[in-house]
Amino acid sequence: MKKTLIAAAALTLAAGAAQAQMTIYGLIDLSYGQSILSDYLGEDPDFHSGGDNGSSEGNSTTRIGLKGSMEVASGIKANFNLETGGIDSDGGVNNGGDFFNRQMWAGLSGGWGEVRLGKQDSVVYQTMSGYDFNGASNGISSGGYTSSAVWLPGRQSRLLNYISPNMGGFKVQAGFVPKGNEVGAEDTFAGAVTYAAGGLSISAAAESARTETSNGFYSVAGSYDFKVVKVMAGYSDGSNDIGGYSLGIVAPVAGFNIGAMYAQNSDTDATGYELFINKEVFKNTYFYAEYGSVDETTATSIKGDGFAVGMIFTF
């Protein structure tokens, strides 16, 4: 009888597993160049993986992940995502730190939207990163190095995140992280809204202070796609030398995407710009070249020039 029950349970588990959809995915960024940080530190240009120097080289972070979903009830799916930290040129992950340090969450989704819990990109980043036409470049991001990007707040652990369905062009997102038992931490709330129709996209996002000594952050941005050229403008404010203005432009030219980004910190007057070109040369294989420069007005801040020429492979 016990053997029969065990066999039945095994068959039930196998049937459930067969219904689950799991994908192994990843990105490999290989380039030759030197980030703005490397230039500031006096390092020479070199071949790099996108996970080198704390994922500060090349355009994108080299990583691998697992994601999947399974229908658990009529119209309801269970979803999950596990994604490693940056993989460096020696094959190390996240400088020997936490393995799945980019994404580690699970949740449910349906016609009412999606709920996720775990480590993931902040609500602000999820909403605003698309306004960076060069993909928030690891090595030369003008908005990142001047601390004025509209997407600045980074990933959060223990983030409870709600993402609404599209409602007549509007999409709403909300997040909460309890302070828990971390010394100096604060309950953190976040919210964002996006309206998109035709070539127009407008977003606003905000996040409360994460610690007793930090400040909240908010940003607004908009873009319009004229087909022959796409433009964006954004503003952010996080106090304490964080926040400013950003502008961007990108255009399709002979099969290439050619563009530029500019940013200025409204407190320190630090300025930065980046020029970039990229093209999908084969299926899931992209060529890119980029150059950026940051001029900081405060003596203790990073300033320098950076560049990268590389290939990105996705699977």
CB 51 within 8 A of CB 63: yes
CATH number of the domain encompassing residue 199: 2.40.160.10
Q: CA-CA distance, 71 to 286, in Å (whole number)?
A: 34
Q: What is the DSSP letter of 300?
A: T
In a domain, 233, yes or no: yes
In a domain, 1, yes or no: no
DSSP H or E segment with residue 151:
none
Amino acid residing at 143: G
CB 52 within 8 A of CB 60: no
Q: CA-CA distance, 183 to 210, in Å (whole number)?
A: 11
**Which two tokens mark 86?**
């940056």
Spatial CA neighbour of 242 closest among 265, 270, 212: 265
In a domain, 5, yes or no: no
In a domain, 11, yes or no: no
Q: What is the pLDDT of residue 239?
A: 85
In a domain, 35, yes or no: yes
Q: How far is CA 83 from CA 2, 205, 227, in A?
A: 39, 25, 34
As averages over each run of 10 residues, the pLDDT of the chain (315 residues) reads 47 53 97 97 97 96 98 97 98 91 98 99 99 98 97 97 99 98 96 99 99 97 99 96 97 98 95 98 98 80 94 99
First to last CA, the chain: 46
In a domain, 15, yes or no: no
CB 160 within 8 A of CB 115: yes
**Which two tokens mark 124?**
């602000």
Parent domain of 27? 21-314
Could you give the number of structural domains in the chain? 1
Asked whether the CA dihedral 208, 211, 213, 214 is positive or negative, the reply is: negative
Spatial CA neighbour of 305 closest among 274, 264, 261: 274
Spatial CA neighbour of 190 closest among 175, 180, 178, 172: 175
In a domain, 277, yes or no: yes
In a domain, 31, yes or no: yes
Q: What is the pLDDT of residue 111?
A: 98
Q: CA-CA distance, 243 to 224, in Å (whole number)?
A: 22
* Neighbouring residues of 296: CB distance < 8 A, sequence distance ≥ 6: 146, 268, 270, 302, 303
CB 171 within 8 A of CB 189: no
Q: What is the pLDDT of residue 296?
A: 78
